[in-house]
Structure 1
Amino acid sequence: MAQLIKLQDYVSRYEKDMIRYPSQYVRLKKQQWTKIKQQWEDGGVYLNEEEIQRFKEEVEGKEGILKRFKKILVRHEEEPEVEEEPDESDDLSFEPSVYYKPETLDDLKHLYLDQLLHFQLKWASSTLTEKSYVDSKYHRDDHLKFFLQRFPDTFLLMYEPILLLKKAPVELEVLLFTPTALWCISLLDQGEDTVFVGSTERFWKVKKGESEHTQLNPLISLDRTASILQQIFDKNDVDFTIHKAVLSRTGYVDFPDIPYGYKVIDKRSIQKWHDHQRTMSSPFKHMQMKAARAVIEYAQTTSVKRMQWSEADEDLLGDTEE
């Protein structure tokens, strides 16, 4: 499962420490998967609603028993929020919740990965002291889910990143840092079996059924993205290969004479390309981390202080005025 190091302009803990968090994520993911898999293999306890209610009635008033079983109970009632000081160890924790018994190991894996996806969005939109408000569309974004759930842990993803260059925000294409290269990917998605007719002109034709329209040539944006990244790499002594690709998971790209330096990945070839990436069992590489760190330092961030910290700041200001 690739790591989401930057999402749009949301605050990310990876931009605070690009060395610590990637390895910590891999370790945490492995530990929790081993734990939940063992529970499933041992026939862990899963309760239905009637059993939950009966269990609550039987142990009502017996302090401590419910706490020991809280991980197997479905929470039907809102628990009162308790104001606590922020604790980084709690903020970094990930405890998957299994509310039913998956029939197969694959079912368990899908359940686990879906919960891990939400945890990744948290890491990519908050730190101990700051948070950004995530657009709900990202929880349903199939492309984001594809990149995060179907690539190795050592792949680092910047999804729709916004860089701040000369005080001006610049939106880039999807960036996928593998251990050996950086993929700049332009996503084409206008429905199942859509045909994109490529050319070197400013616009491409888009055909779906009987309808036809045009869209801006995606190679233009790819060239701009690659050019910006190469300048950042040169400035930071980063020697890292940059690939440029047009990707359509559900459609076809008709561009037989595509210029050198670009790769077309469509419905016919995506499985082969994806399989090749997944076979890359290489660990994190020094130049990969250096490249990702160099780019993320230019990332724009829009965030607010977390509530606990904002209130504390106000108290300090009040004491000063007195």
Structure 2
Amino acid sequence: MGQLIKLQDYVSRYQQDIFLYPSRFVRLKKQQWDKWHKTWESNESFTPRPAQHDTSGTADWSYEEKEPLMEKLKGLLKRGRNEEFEEYNAAGHEVEKEEDVLEFEASFAVRPETIENLKHQFLDQLYRFQMKWATSTLTEKSFPEKQYYYDEKLKYFLQRYPDTYLVMYNPIFLLKRAPVETEIIVIGPTEVWCISFLEQEDSAVFTGSKDRFWTKKGKGEEKKVLNPLLALDRTEKIIRKIFEIHSIELPVKKAVLTRNGYIDYPAAPIDVQLVEKRNYEQWFHAMRNPRSPLKHAQLKGAQALLQYCQTSSVKRLEWENRNES
């Protein structure tokens, strides 16, 4: 499952520590899946049950924090951990115990009939968990539009790609004090992809050109659509400039993606890949096939890009109350 490290201009936990959260997500996902699979195989009940504290030291997920932030901090202080709390204030990093890191349990009234159904249910719950990490931290939160909880294209990247792919979904960069929205950015272990979707009705044909608009032929009248290469080129230039500033060497590639249609552009630039109905499966297989682990250069590149992203958020109420007191 791809990891959503930035969604538009919402605050993200990955911005707090990009070298911590990707590996933590992979580990926690595996632990939680093992629990679900074991429960399913043993025919245990899938009805809701209250979350219990895990005394084994294994990290749990909880969809909501188990106790208010102030109670957590009071507990830390009572245990003589003033120094750790002061470190939070000084460095701006979250003080967060592993067992407080978000858990969700198998909570189905009806047991999934097949392992595939179980996987789909698990991925749907995991998607909502990903949305929480991509729109909040321990002290701040953003208010995402509801459409993102059902966004088919976003689910496509998060549910069908490997855990080692870091997804920035239409991030907004703040460059020279001006916000610039970009295309989808997928940061893999060995390369970065800028991807633009070009999908409308099934089997539509898009005729490309160097002009500002392309032509779409399908059901009904012929229509003009904005040339997707314009936004792709802008996204690529931003990434390359940031990488140049931070001395990051990762190839940057571009793709126009239409899974249900066709692209007719014989004179297309050689530095962009046109992925359409005829070659989609081959491209998709090549994207999913590599099993490279998370790499340092990849995380460093993601960190550099996140530094230039705009973030709109508010302090959590508990944190504001503490500041006032």
Q: Normalising by the residue count of structure 1, what TM-score does the alignment of the two structures yield?
A: 0.85
Instruction: Describe the SS at the equivalent of 1:267.
Output: coil
5 Å-filtered alignment, 1:2-41, equals 2-41=2-41
| Superposed displacement of residue 91, structure 1 | 5.2
Find the residue that maps to 1:211 and give its secondary structure: coil
| 1:220 and 2:230 aligned | yes
Alpha-carbon displacement from aligned partner over 1:3-27 (angstroms, at most 9, x marks no partner): 0000000000101101000000000
The within-5 A match list for 1:144-159 is 144-159=154-169
Measured at CA, do residues 138 and 68 of structure 1 come closer, stay the same or move farther in structure 2, by a change above 3 Å? closer
Q: Verify: 1:239 aligned to 2:285, yes or no.
A: no
Aligned to 2:136, which of 123, 126, 143? 126
How many residue pairs get aligned? The number is 288
**For the residues of structure 2 that align with 1:68 and 1:15, how far apart are their CA atoms?**
28
Q: Contact 1:86–1:308 (CA<8 Å) still a contact in 2?
A: no
Q: Output the CA distance in 1 between the equivalents of 2:176 and 2:118.
A: 47
CA distance in 1, matches of 2:150, 2:277: 21
Q: Is the 8 A contact 1:182 1:243 kept in 2?
A: yes
How far 1:85 moved relative to its partner?
2.8
Shift of the 96–191 alpha-carbon distance from structure 1 to 2, 3 Å rule, reads farther
- Contact residue 172 and residue 181 of structure 2 kept, 8 A: yes
Q: Which residue of 2 aligns with 1:292?
A: 302
2:183 counterpart residue number: 173
Cα displacement (A) at 1:216: 1.7
Distance 1:25 1:225 in 2: 27
CA distance 1:83–1:156, change in 2 (3 Å)? closer
* Secondary structure, counterpart of 1:272 in structure 2: helix
Partner of 2:107: 98
CA contact (8 A) 2:199 2:259 kept: yes
Cross-structure match for 2:207: 197
Deviations 1:35-87 (A, max 9, x none): 1100100011145xxxx9xxxxxxxxxxxxx8589xxxxxxxxxxx9756365
After TM superposition, where is structure 1 displaced by more than 6 Å over at least 4 residues in a row? none
The correspondence of residues 60-71 of structure 1 with structure 2, limited to 5 A, is none
Q: Which has the larger radius of gyration?
A: 1
Letter in 2 for 1:96: E
Q: Which amino acid aligns with 2:4?
A: L
Q: Please, which runs of 5 or more residues in structure 2 have no aligned partner? A: 53-65, 73-95
CA–CA distance in structure 1, aligned partners of residues 172 and 146 of structure 2: 18
State the match for 2:88 in structure 1.
Answer: none
CA distance in 1, matches of 2:306, 2:196: 19
Q: Identity of aligned pairs, percent?
A: 47
298-307 or 90-99, larger mean C-alpha shift:
90-99
2: CA distance, partners of 1:137 / 1:84 = 28
Aligned residue in 2 for 1:110: 120
Distance 1:9 1:39 in 2: 38
- Alpha-carbon distance in 2 for matches of 1:85, 1:303: 19
Deviation string 1:215-267 (CA, Å, 9 cap, x unpaired) is 22111111111111111011000011000110112222121221110101122
Q: Which residue of 1 aligns with 2:60?
A: none
Residue number in structure 1 paired with 2:70 = 85
- AA matched with 2:254: K
Does the 8 Å contact 1:189/1:250 carry over to 2?
yes
Structure 1 residues 156 and 195: CA distance shift in structure 2, 3 A: same
TM-score when normalising by structure 2: 0.84
Cα drift, residue 174 of structure 1: 0.3
Q: Equivalent residue for 1:62?
A: none
In the alignment, which residue of structure 1 is the partner of 2:43?
43
User: Cα distance 1:86–1:148, how it changes in 2: closer, same or farther (>3 A)?
Assistant: farther
Q: 5+ unaligned residues in a row in structure 1: which ranges?
A: 53-65, 70-80, 317-322
- Aligned residue identity for 1:16: Q
Q: What secondary structure sits across from 2:222 in the alignment?
A: strand
**CA contact under 8 A between 1:188 and 1:246: conserved in structure 2?**
yes
Bigger shift: residues 268-277 or 83-92: 83-92
2:46/2:106 contact within 8 Å kept: no
> Which sits farther off after the overlay, 133-142 or 195-204?
195-204
